Structure 1
Amino acid sequence: MSLKLKSGFVFDYDNLLNEKCVSKDDVTALLPRLKKAHKAMDVMRKTGVIRGHLSKDGTPEKVLFSQLPYIEKGNLNSPESIARIKKFGESVRNRVDAVISLGIGGSFLGNKVLFDVQCGSFWNLKTREERKGYPKVFFSGNNIDPRSTQDLLNYIDDAADMAMHHDKKNPRKYKVMLICISKSGGTLDTMSNFMVIYNKLLKNKNVEVEVVAVTDPNEEKPTLLKKMAIENKWESFAVPDGVGGRFTIFCEVGLVVAAVIGFDIEAFLEGARQMDIACQNDDIWQNPAMLNAALKFIAAEKYGRDEEVMMPYGDYLESVSMWYIQLLAESLGKQFNKEGKEVCYGRTPIVAIGTRDMHSQTQQHQEGKLNKIVQFIRIENWKNDLTIPNAFPEVKKLAEISGVTMGQALEVARQSNADALISNKRFNALFSLPELNAYHLGELLYMLAMSIAYEGELADVDAFNQPGVEAYKRIMGPKLQQVKAQGKK
């Protein structure tokens, strides 16, 4: 059984809804709650209101992520804002040598998805011409790791020295752009890396550094980073109110980095928009997000499948799993429901990738505790697929695997994994994309985001706050001051 959209996007739930797994009776019993959840999504789209949602300050806060796929005047993504982002992207071409994107959480994970799909692993090894004039891109600020930060600085130092001395007739400074992403401007991980890197690059006579701030756009009560941007005349983009970090891949937070690699922003948002239209259908069997949420919710609550393995088949989709970890964990991992009752709800997300983790995790998936749902992602048609040659015809074992493409072999491996799992009552499902491009990526990510919104309503938890994250932050600040005070003694 599967749900297929006109675009070719498929949600195959045959191994999740059958006599061994979730039943149609289970879904039928949930229909009254699903009807309420669907109405809540309609209200969210029209007004931004989600029942019971409060900001971390305890005040009512709108939820606006469902507005982001629509490029319309007055929206967070307007024709003017998209034009400005694209102009910004063009401004770095053949001018900036390297961009360092500094962010954590959604400000890193979402941007890394866009980079991986567009650029792959070898982007920074390509010539400027091969990159069509776009800069090299590095990520920092997602951990406070002195070694990796120093390694990045060493690379920039070497590249700058090469630029200055390689062509003695035309010596030039190495141009580095720092894209610093923090709504408050006080994020420890991001800002510590930013200050270290910014300070070091300013002292390097071979480097020309510029800063772009992505932060709260409020100028009347500017955040720390916004105030710095104003004072230093840094170009700035918005981390908008009403869009939590795990949803910001669809707004300027993600699109600014998309622009500096030539990612097709309009196609990405159009894919998300078309998925949103599909998810407005009140028929569960025609609404991918509602159906996905319902099946996962039932599997967890009735059948104890409270771990979700996100397992794409494709190296450059591993970052999608990493992004999904935050989306699922922060949104649904809640101690209390909206009425204040302790429920300790949520599935534990796990990153896997095929075929790599068929040789590491699959033993646990196949024979371990019956507490998992394995969610596969596949690409139906790979661009420039490679045929496995019969390079050693005298070796029978190798000759047997020749003559098919790598894409075909990958799908055979995935199907074999899925069939083996369901044969042993192991729940699994499939999201299938016709090809790996901006449009279908937009479809997939938006469907996952909307699924989370639906499940929040089914579980009666606030899918848009993160009180558990705030708990460690309250402890971390004073501890850091203690360390600083001890260092002065």
Structure 2
Amino acid sequence: MSLKLESGFEFDYENLLGDGCVTKEDVSALLPELKKAHEAMDVMRRTGVIRGHLSKDGTPEKVLFSQLPYIEKGNLNSPESVARLKKFGESARNRVDAVVSLGIGGSFLGNKVLFDVQCGSFWNLKTREERKGYPKVFFSGNNIDPRSTKDLIDYIKYAADMSVHHDKKNSRKYKVMLICISKSGGTLDTMSNFMVIYDALKKNKNVKVEVVAVTDPNEEKPTLLKKMAMENKWESFAVPDGVGGRFTIFCEVGLVLAAVVGFDIEAFLEGARNMDKACQNNDIWQNPAMLNAALKFIAAKKYGRDEEVMMPYGDYLESVSMWYIQLLAESLGKQFNKEGKEVCYGRTPIVALGTRDMHSQTQQHQEGKLNKIVQFIRIEKWANDLAVPNVFPTVQKLADISGVTMGQALEVARQSNADALISNNRFNALFSLPKLNAYYLGELLYMLAMSISYEGELADVDAFNQPGVEAYKKIMGPKLQQVKAQQAEK
């Protein structure tokens, strides 16, 4: 059983619905609630209103992520804003040597997905020509780790010294672009790294630093980072109101980095847009997001499968699993429902990677507690699939695995895992992408975002706030001031 779109995107739920799994009767019983959830999504698309959603300040706030796939005048992504992003990306080519993307939460996780799919692990080892003139990329600000931050600074200084040494004739400084992403400019993790790196590089005679601020665009009441950008004449892009961090991969927060590595922004948004149109279907069996949400909601509520193992098969998709961790955890892990009743709802997300974690986690998935759904992601056709050669014909065990491609072997491993799991009553499902590219990535990520939105309505929790995150922030601020005071006394 599967739902396949015209694009080729497929949601195979054969091992999630049927004998021993969620039943069609379960789904039928949920149809009245699904109808209400679907109507809520329609209202959200048209007006941005989600019942019961308030900002962290306790005031009504619109939810606008469903607008992002549509490049239209007046929208958050407009023809003008996309053109500006593309121009910005072109301006970095053959001019900027390295980009440091500083952000945390969605400002890191989403950007890492786009980087991995476009660039891969060895991007920074390629020549400028192999990168088509685009700069090297580093990530920081997603943790407050003094060692890794110093290592990054030391590497950039070394690269700058080498560049100047080998180009004495032109004596061109090594150009570093710091993309600082924070809505307020007060994010401890991001801004502490930004200040340390900015200060160190500004003091290096071989480095020229430029800053790009991605922040609240309000100029009348500018936030800290926006005010700094205005005073220092830094180029700036928007962290828009109405788009929570875990959804910002579809707006300038993610697309700024996408632009400086040559990622196809328009194809990405086209994939998201076509998925959104599919998700407007009121027939659950034709709506990928509604069907995914319903099956997993029922599996958790009725069958106790309240942990979701997101297990893509492909190294450069592990960051998708990491991105999904935040999406699921922050959206649905809620103590209270929309009426203020304590419900402590949530499904726990777990990162896994095939085939790597078949050799580490699968024992638990296969025989451990019956509380999991394993969600696979596969790529049907790899761009550069490699055949396993028969280089040791006298070694029978190795000869037996030759003659197939690595992509075929990967899929055999995944299918074997899925078959073994369901044979022992372990729920699992599959998202299948015809290729790994910007379009299909847009389809997949948007479907997951919309699916979470549906599940929030089914569980009657606000999928767009994150009060639990604010709790530690309120404690952390005063504690940091205490440390600073103690330091001053020494």
- Into which bin does the TM-score normalised by the smaller protein fall? over 0.9
**Separation (CA, whole Å) in 2 of partners of 1:440 and 1:167:** 42
What is the deviation of 1:171?
2.2
DSSP 3-state at the match of 1:402: coil
Partner deviation per Cα, 1:312-347 (whole Å, 9 max, x = no partner): 000000000000000000000000000000000011
**Separation (CA, whole Å) in 1 of partners of 2:19 and 2:54:** 41
What is the deviation of 1:167?
2.6
The one-letter code of the counterpart of 1:121 is: S
Match of 1:39 in 2: 39
Match of 2:236 in 1: 236
What is the deviation of 1:180?
0.1
1:411-426 to 2 correspondences below 5 Å: 411-426=411-426
1:181 aligns with 2:181: yes
What is the deviation of 1:235?
0.3
What is the deviation of 1:166?
1.4
1:19-168 to 2 correspondences below 5 Å: 19-168=19-168
DSSP 3-state at the match of 1:343: strand
1:314-463 to 2 correspondences below 5 Å: 314-463=314-463
**Separation (CA, whole Å) in 2 of partners of 1:314 and 1:248:** 24
**Separation (CA, whole Å) in 2 of partners of 1:382 and 1:266:** 22
Match of 2:225 in 1: 225
1:143-292 to 2 correspondences below 5 Å: 143-292=143-292
DSSP 3-state at the match of 1:373: strand
**Separation (CA, whole Å) in 1 of partners of 2:250 and 2:31:** 30
**Separation (CA, whole Å) in 2 of partners of 1:237 and 1:167:** 33
The one-letter code of the counterpart of 1:14 is: E
**Separation (CA, whole Å) in 2 of partners of 1:170 and 1:199:** 25
**Separation (CA, whole Å) in 2 of partners of 1:384 and 1:123:** 17
**Separation (CA, whole Å) in 1 of partners of 2:157 and 2:15:** 53
User: How does the TM-score come out when normalised to structure 1?
Assistant: 1.00
What is the deviation of 1:164?
1.1
DSSP 3-state at the match of 1:374: strand
DSSP 3-state at the match of 1:369: coil
Structure 1's consecutive aligned runs of 4 or more residues displaced over 3 angstroms after TM superposition are none
Partner deviation per Cα, 1:179-237 (whole Å, 9 max, x = no partner): 00000100000000000000001100100000000000001110000000000000000
**Separation (CA, whole Å) in 2 of partners of 1:296 and 1:221:** 43
**Separation (CA, whole Å) in 1 of partners of 2:383 and 2:373:** 29
DSSP 3-state at the match of 1:344: strand
DSSP 3-state at the match of 1:295: helix
**Separation (CA, whole Å) in 2 of partners of 1:28 and 1:441:** 31
**Separation (CA, whole Å) in 2 of partners of 1:476 and 1:391:** 58
What is the deviation of 1:169?
2.1
Which stretch shifts more, 95-104 or 164-173? 164-173
What is the deviation of 1:282?
0.1
DSSP 3-state at the match of 2:137: strand
**Separation (CA, whole Å) in 1 of partners of 2:438 and 2:57:** 36
DSSP 3-state at the match of 1:280: coil
Match of 1:305 in 2: 305
The one-letter code of the counterpart of 1:62 is: K
**Separation (CA, whole Å) in 1 of partners of 2:458 and 2:411:** 33
The one-letter code of the counterpart of 1:58 is: G
The one-letter code of the counterpart of 1:192 is: S
Between Structure 1 and Structure 2, how many residues are aligned? Answer: 489
1:473 aligns with 2:473: yes
Partner deviation per Cα, 1:351-382 (whole Å, 9 max, x = no partner): 00000000000000000000000000000000
The one-letter code of the counterpart of 1:9 is: F
**Separation (CA, whole Å) in 1 of partners of 2:251 and 2:419:** 39
The one-letter code of the counterpart of 1:122 is: F
**Separation (CA, whole Å) in 1 of partners of 2:233 and 2:48:** 33
Partner deviation per Cα, 1:120-169 (whole Å, 9 max, x = no partner): 00000000000000000000000000000000000001001011111332
DSSP 3-state at the match of 1:377: strand
DSSP 3-state at the match of 1:62: coil
**Separation (CA, whole Å) in 2 of partners of 1:246 and 1:167:** 42
**Separation (CA, whole Å) in 2 of partners of 1:116 and 1:373:** 25
1:14 aligns with 2:7: no
Partner deviation per Cα, 1:415-460 (whole Å, 9 max, x = no partner): 0000000000000000000000000000000000000000000000
DSSP 3-state at the match of 1:282: coil
DSSP 3-state at the match of 1:179: strand
**Separation (CA, whole Å) in 2 of partners of 1:168 and 1:123:** 26
DSSP 3-state at the match of 1:218: coil
DSSP 3-state at the match of 1:209: strand
The one-letter code of the counterpart of 1:308 is: E
**Separation (CA, whole Å) in 2 of partners of 1:35 and 1:164:** 64
DSSP 3-state at the match of 1:38: helix
**Separation (CA, whole Å) in 1 of partners of 2:254 and 2:7:** 24
**Separation (CA, whole Å) in 1 of partners of 2:330 and 2:457:** 15
**Separation (CA, whole Å) in 2 of partners of 1:275 and 1:86:** 23
The one-letter code of the counterpart of 1:213 is: A
What is the deviation of 1:7?
0.3
5+ long unaligned stretches in structure 1? none
The one-letter code of the counterpart of 1:124 is: N
DSSP 3-state at the match of 1:217: coil
DSSP 3-state at the match of 1:262: coil
**Separation (CA, whole Å) in 2 of partners of 1:454 and 1:221:** 34
Which stretch shifts more, 47-56 or 160-169? 160-169
**Separation (CA, whole Å) in 2 of partners of 1:24 and 1:165:** 69
DSSP 3-state at the match of 1:214: strand
User: How does the TM-score come out when normalised to structure 2?
Assistant: 1.00
